[in-house]
Amino acid sequence: MTRNDGTAGSSTVRGNPILKTIDGIGSTCAALGDGLVIAIALMLFMDVALRYVFNAPTIWAQDVAIACQVWFTYLGMAYVLRKRQMIRITAVLALAGPGVRRAAEAFALLVILAFSLVAVIYGFDTVMDSIRLGRRQPTMLEMPNWVSELPVVVGFALLAIQALADLIRLPFVPAPEFTPAGEHAPASDGTLIE
């Protein structure tokens, strides 16, 4: 099996329906996060208008906006990983050969995968404790704590799945490129991301 030369091995991995589904879920969650940002802006605008124009503030807008902010933050993690838009320090990797860059990418994905699994396990325990104990936020709305804790579990689960998909894909796409002009990593389909 050769690397990214159009042979059956690389096109099979790139066209794998499971990997495409994983990428699609990440993109869908990122789009949902975009919608949540718009909803937050509308909620806060409405709350300000109700408070200062009609002197009738809501008791829910701030709590719901904060919960939405937590959700959109964690829902976008898998998409950010797939597009390689996270912060990296690449000064040494820019000088390395393709084998070292590929090994560094694999190591980074393994660390992300391991950390994500730990976050899912401990986050799930926290969510279950909040549900079992009936913990609520100390605000007028008294929103259940698990509403703001669940996105951590969902986000890191999606991140772990995306890291695993990218590990599977790694041998079949070009090694990441790190240049002074900016970072370029292979996208899911093997093309470079600008």
Q: Is residue 193 situated within a structural domain?
A: no
Q: Tokens at residue 26, please?
A: 């990440």
Identify the CA nearest to 60 among candidates 140, 122, 130: 140
Q: Is residue 192 situated within a structural domain?
A: no
Identify the CA nearest to 146 among candidates 77, 72, 71: 71
Domain that holds residue 39: 8-184
Q: Is residue 18 situated within a structural domain?
A: yes
Q: Is residue 117 situated within a structural domain?
A: yes
Give how many domains the chain has, as a whole number. 1
Per residue in 45-75, pLDDT tens?
Answer: 999 999 999 998 898 998 999 999 999 999 9
Q: Quick one: pLDDT at residue 12?
A: 58
Q: What is the distance between the alpha carbons of residues 91 and 184, in angstroms, rounded to a whole number?
A: 14
Q: Is residue 73 situated within a structural domain?
A: yes
Q: Is residue 172 situated within a structural domain?
A: yes
Contacts of 154 (CB under 8 A, 6+ apart): 74, 75
Q: Tokens at residue 137, please?
A: 């936020």
Q: Is residue 194 situated within a structural domain?
A: no
Q: Is residue 51 situated within a structural domain?
A: yes
Return the minimum-mean-pLDDT range out of 80-84, 92-96, 146-150.
Answer: 92-96
